[in-house]
């Protein structure tokens, strides 16, 4: 009896494993197809400078509208794309799409000249020798100066493939492309490494910002990261700012830039262009009011 129960449990267990594996495979195939059939698109989230409330850039964020499953969040499909290697294709598509969009904005609105596009780069994309060629070509194809592109990398992406990644980073930086470290504070890069990297910006992870109010230690971490950025002459962007208290604290701490739902959620291409136009017509727009309200 016990044996039979055990066997049954094993059967259920293997069936579930199989199901998960099949799910994964299906999703992988779906993704391959989805990349070809326009199921992916980008959302753009504004990045603002707190000193003058200027709109300085947008982060491009990948979105997948699956025909049967509906919207699948990046937290699901990005890890899968990384495991399957599809991130190479997806990453290139994201970069090209983001640059195409920026080029269109620049054609339509003079205000777009002062706005950069920030694109997330996965650790896997770093192992590619052709990465820098691909990036430089994408810029050329859209007739864009390298200074309008910011690439976001995580600390672990650097740790994962140290030497070749750093070489790649240097080549791209030499070509005029800027880098930021995404989710800063969650990884394990050392200060000496940080100092050697040709990066321009630290993006303080949302987790630290959201816990600032309830946990004084988090406030100290944010303070320390901002001080570190200042002393290394790096820009700093606080991610995931959701309420006026967080904004006030960040202003007290002399945080330079912000991104978060309190200001803007990720938006469509059209809405983003409208925002650019509103901002360049009226000078400082909506977020100034938000700053004053706060």
Stretch that binds ligand C2E, among 103-111, 126-134, 161-169, 233-241 (CB under 6 A): 233-241
Closest CA to 46 of 293, 294, 284, 292: 284
Interatomic CA distance for residues 286 and 272, integer angstroms? 13
Stretch that binds ligand C2E, among 25-33, 70-78, 127-135, 226-234 (CB under 6 A): 70-78
* Structure token digits, residue 15: 């069936």
Closest CA to 168 of 189, 184, 153, 190: 153
Stretch that binds Mg ion, among 31-39, 67-75, 89-97, 182-190 (CB under 5 A): 182-190
Per the listing, tokens 């590619």 go with: 128
192 binds ligand C2E (CB under 6 A): no
Q: With contact defined as beta carbons under 8 Å apart, do 259 and 241 qualify?
A: yes
Q: With contact defined as beta carbons under 8 Å apart, do 104 and 270 qualify?
A: no
Q: Site size for ligand C2E, by CB under 6 A?
A: 23
Q: With contact defined as beta carbons under 8 Å apart, do 138 and 119 qualify?
A: no
Toward ligand C2E, which CB reaches closer, 103 or 209? 209
Residue of 183, 184, 199, 250 interacting with Mg ion (CB under 5 A): 183
Toward Mg ion, which CB reaches closer, 111 or 266? 266
Q: How far is the CB of 233 from ligand C2E (least distance, A)?
A: 23
Stretch that binds Mg ion, among 87-95, 117-125, 264-272, 285-293 (CB under 5 A): 117-125
Residue of 39, 100, 160, 242 interacting with ligand C2E (CB under 6 A): 242
Residue of 28, 35, 49, 61 interacting with ligand C2E (CB under 6 A): 61
Toward ligand C2E, which CB reaches closer, 28 or 242? 242
Toward ligand C2E, which CB reaches closer, 109 or 153? 153
Q: How far is the CB of 152 from Mg ion (least distance, A)?
A: 4
Sign of CA dihedral 91, 95, 96, 98: positive
62 binds ligand C2E (CB under 6 A): yes
Q: With contact defined as beta carbons under 8 Å apart, do 152 and 59 qualify?
A: yes
Residue of 30, 54, 92, 152 interacting with Mg ion (CB under 5 A): 152
Q: How many C-beta atoms surround the C-beta of residue 68 within 10 A?
A: 5
111 binds ligand C2E (CB under 6 A): no
Toward ligand C2E, which CB reaches closer, 62 or 115? 62
Residue 234 backbone dihedrals phi, psi, to 5 degrees: -110, 155
74 binds ligand C2E (CB under 6 A): yes
The mark string for 71-110 relative to Mg ion (x by CB under 5 A, - otherwise) is ----------------------------------------
Q: Where are the alpha helices (DSSP H) in the chain?
A: 2-36, 74-84, 87-108, 123-126, 131-141, 155-160, 162-174, 191-196, 206-210, 216-231, 244-252, 269-282, 286-293
3-state secondary structure of 161: coil
| Contact positions vs ligand C2E (CB under 6 A) | 45, 61-62, 73-75, 78, 91, 94, 120, 122, 152, 182-183, 206, 239-242, 259-261, 266
């Amino acid at each position: 009896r016990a044996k039979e129960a055990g066997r049954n449990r094993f059967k259920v267990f293997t069936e579930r494993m199989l199901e998960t594996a099949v799910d994964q495979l299906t999703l992988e195939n779906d993704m391959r197809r989805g990349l070809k059939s326009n199921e992916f698109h980008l959302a753009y989230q504004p990045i603002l400078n707190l000193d003058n409330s200027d709109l300085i850039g947008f982060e491009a964020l990948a979105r997948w509208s699956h025909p049967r499953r509906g919207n699948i969040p990046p937290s699901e499909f990005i890890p899968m794309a990384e495991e399957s290697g599809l991130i190479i294709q997806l990453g290139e598509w994201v970069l090209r799409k983001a640059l195409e969009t920026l080029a269109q904005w620049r054609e339509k609105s003079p205000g777009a000249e002062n706005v950069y596009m920030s694109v997330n780069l996965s650790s896997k994309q770093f192992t590619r020798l052709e990465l820098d060629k691909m990036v430089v070509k994408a810029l050329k194809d859209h007739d864009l100066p390298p200074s309008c592109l910011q690439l976001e990398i995580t600390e672990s992406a650097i740790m994962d493939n140290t030497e070749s990644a750093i070489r790649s980073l240097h080549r791209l930086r030499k070509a005029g492309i800027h880098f930021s470290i995404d989710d800063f504070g969650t990884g394990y890069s050392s200060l000496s490494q940080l100092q050697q990297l040709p990066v321009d910006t630290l993006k303080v992870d949302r987790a630290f910002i959201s816990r600032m109010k309830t946990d004084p230690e988090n406030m100290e971490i944010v303070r320390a990261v901002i001080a570190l950025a200042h002393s290394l002459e790096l820009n700093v962007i606080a991610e995931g700012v959701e309420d006026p208290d967080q904004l006030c604290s960040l202003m007290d701490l002399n945080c330079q830039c912000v991104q978060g739902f309190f200001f803007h959620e990720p938006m469509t291409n059209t809405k983003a262009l409208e925002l650019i136009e509103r901002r360049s017509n009226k000078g400082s727009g909506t977020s100034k009011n938000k700053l004053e309200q706060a």
